[in-house]
Homo-oligomer: A and B are copies of this chain.
């Protein structure tokens, strides 16, 4: 069912080289420096409950597409915050999913799911309304086996390292539990303090209070706030973190004078921060967080340009991460100038930039990464983590940024069993892209053979400071 040549250019002149290049990386361990796998799942290692709970309900790539065609999220079993009853029979949810599996034709979810079903669960018949329940049975019976528990899958997937994403106030208890368990997996936290930085988030005040408790000193002013963040970074680093992550709407950077930021922070504590305050604070904090990264060596990631929870009715009923975040045009050249001028030439600093606005690849991001020593380009993110999206990235960024200012792949997923499918797709696209360069005589085969390993394995380890 899965062709050995899948995702390669069908022209033999390229495909034959792509095959050869892919062979060099197909078996390399998976490096997962950025993602949303729940560490509790790995720590507790309890069996996955059922196929719908594993593959449909929590995957907003899947539920979003079904919703876009008129299927209410309630019918898909997505848990509601407001008490609205939702479907609880996983077989009914699975049937809807299978009835509409044709919606995923030509999408990355379609590719990943097809790969997962076959390679992880051994499903060999196509998914549709008629086969739905048979496939359900097959997956359910697999999930009951010990070799389908999370830790067994982690080992089978050949994951060299997996980094989770954790709030500044997270206790990292499941990371401790994994460490203490004797299981030899390399699972690391990532410091993502968004909730403590976004002054307009309704949960900000509570997060600041939690931050004070966690660090043992109430946060009554800006200096204590900064000290608390630094304290948590030290803790994360002790727990194995090598990176931080920051989501902002606009990647504006700019330092405020100390007295101004202190006054602004006081307003925020009193619940009086304005949108303009929040914008300035975001720009100031990116500077501060970059300064901390220079000092403690944690790699800084910035993920800008998503307007979260665009659909307020869905957000009100089902909460965040339900597929209703919509990207915005994003400007980097002027917005990042302050940060790059202050830290971009510093050899201690590593900054990984992401985007949902592909127009910035050739216009802004590749020129920035092709100049500033601190900058690496993150792989195509979210909607663009796809066959065509990765090809556009390589075609639009490589000529100006080069291959070596890119940060390798990350799967950015909470869908644990999709990890091999995602890395496999990326490695195939990389092999195919480099094969195209060889076939057009832009580079020669030995160069491509070295580059495919760098792009698929070495660069991500170097960028995220994960190389042993």
Contacts and interface: CB of A to CB of B under 8 A. Distances in A.
A104 interface: yes
A312 B342 CA distance: 9
B440 A9 contact: yes
Contacts of A217: none
B441 A371 contact: no
Question: How many chain copies?
Answer: 3
A431 to B, nearest CB: 13
B366 A383 contact: yes
A199 interface: no
A107 interface: yes
Given A6-B441, A399-B383, A371 B69 contact: no
A124 to B, nearest CB: 13
A104 to B, nearest CB: 7
Interface in A52-109: 64-65, 67-70, 102-108
A13 interface: yes
Contacts of A14: 10
Interface stretch (A169-177, A238-246, A290-298, A325-333): A325-333
Interface stretch (A41-49, A133-141, A402-410): A402-410
Contacts of A388: 395-396, 398-399
Given A326-B368, A329-B331, A373-B67, A105 B311 contact: no
A371 B68 contact: yes
A138 to B, nearest CB: 20
Contacts of A451: 102, 105-106
B68 A372 contact: yes
A92 to B, nearest CB: 20
Contacts of A358: 359, 362-363
Contact of A313 (B2, B323, B345): B345
A160 interface: no
B371 A323 contact: yes
Given A11-B13, A399-B108, A402-B107, A387 B442 contact: yes
A418 interface: no
A5 interface: yes
B328 A334 contact: yes
A450 interface: yes
B345 A314 contact: yes
A384 interface: yes
A347 interface: yes
A405 B439 CA distance: 32
A457 to B, nearest CB: 16
Nearest to A330: B363
Contact of A341 (B106, B312, B364, B439): B312
A344 to B, nearest CB: 7
B345 A367 contact: no
A282 interface: no
Contacts of A347: 70
A67 B387 contact: no
Contacts of A401: 68
B370 A68 contact: yes
Contacts of A310: 333, 337, 340-341, 368, 371
B345 A402 contact: no
Nearest to A325: B367
A345 B451 CA distance: 47
Given A6-B441, A69-B404, A310-B371, 10 more contacts: A5-B441, A10-B11, A65-B402, A70-B373, A105-B451, A107-B399, A110-B442, A311-B372, A326-B364, A327-B367
27 contacts: A6-B440, A65-B402, A67-B373, A68-B373, A69-B404, A70-B347, A105-B402, A105-B451, A107-B402, A108-B399, A307-B333, A311-B341, A311-B344, A324-B371, A327-B363, A328-B334, A328-B363, A329-B329, A329-B331, A356-B363, A357-B363, A358-B359, A358-B363, A383-B399, A387-B442, A388-B395, A392-B396
* 7 A-B pairs with least C-beta separation: A10-B13, A6-B441, A10-B439, A3-B441, A386-B399, A383-B400, A326-B333
